[in-house]
Structures are given as C-alpha cells and as structure tokens.
Amino acid sequence: MSITLPNVQLRELFGQWKKNIRPVKDFVNKSRYDFPTSYDNGIKRFVANIDYFYSNYLLVVIFFIAVAILTTPALLFVVLSSLSLSLFLFKKNTDRNVKIISHNIALNTTQQLRIVAVVSFVFFWLVGGTAALSWVVCMSVLFITAHAIAFNKEKMPQHDQPVILTEV
C-alpha cells in the first residue's frame, strides 16, 4: 500500500515508523514473557520495550480505535459522515460564501473544516464517543503496560550480531 504525504517531514516520520514495526512473532511469542524480578528491573524493561516496540504499540492503539468505531454503529456513522464532509470540502478547495440564516458569510476552506470539526465533536459526544474514547485509552494503557513489563527482550535472539561459522 502506497501512501503519499504532502509534507517531507511527515513522509520521513511515517517511513521511520513503518521501518521500526517488529515482526508479530517477536511481539507475541509466549516463551518471552515472565514477571520482572524487581521493581527496578520492571521499570528498565518497561522503558526498553516502549523504545523497542513503539511502532507495534501504535498499531495496537489503531486496532483498539477501529474496534471501538466498528462496534458502535452510531459512532461509525458520525465518523464516516464527518470524514466524507471534510474530504468533500478539502477536494472542493474553493472559498465560497456560506449562507447562514440569510446572511452571506465568506469562509475559506480552513474555517469550513473547523466548523465541521466542532459540529462533528458535538455529534461524537451525543452518540457516546466519550465512552468509546475512554475504553480505547484504558485498554491501550492496560495492554501496552502489561506487555512492556512482562515481555523479556533479553530472551530474544540478537539479529544484529554477525553469525560466525566455524569448521568442525
């Protein structure tokens, strides 16, 4: 899948993020899970795993967001409606006068998108989006914290070291 981003910095950030996605078999291998021996060991393991698996953790958060949106039909409708309206306004890309209560008001595309964002937030709140958002945040924090503390990266084979073959 090819994604073209307009900003060079965004492209570099996306490329770096995509390059750092670790294989799923390394991420979920059950033989590499154990409890840390001490509090300090748990903190060190947490920090090391957050640095090592941050791209995978971002994918986990995206997965939880997708589950929350797809399992709530009203929320799915609001998200799709606001995205389609935003895309329509962005593609249109012309400054037009907007008629609000029989007054012509000149709004550029950015101002129109801001109005869509405010109205979308109101509908998001009305259909229970705050509950979905709190569920996503809680599940993400719980999963990422549990994985980062329980995963023992020291049990992983080192791929960076060269393999030395000796003749027997």
Round the average pLDDT of the chain to a whole number and report it: 82
Please compute the mean of the pLDDT values over residues 46-72 and round it to a whole number: 92
Reply yes or no on whether the pLDDT at 2 is more than 90: no
pTM for the whole structure: 0.72
Please compute the mean of the pLDDT values over residues 68-92 and round it to a whole number: 87
Percent of the chain at pLDDT > 90 equals 38
Q: Could you read off the pLDDT of 24-42 as tens digits, one per residue?
A: 888 888 888 888 889 999 9
- For the chain, the domains span 8-19+31-155
Output the pLDDT for position 163: 44
Name the CA dihedral angle for 16, 157, 49, 15, rounded to a multiple of 10 degrees.
Answer: 10
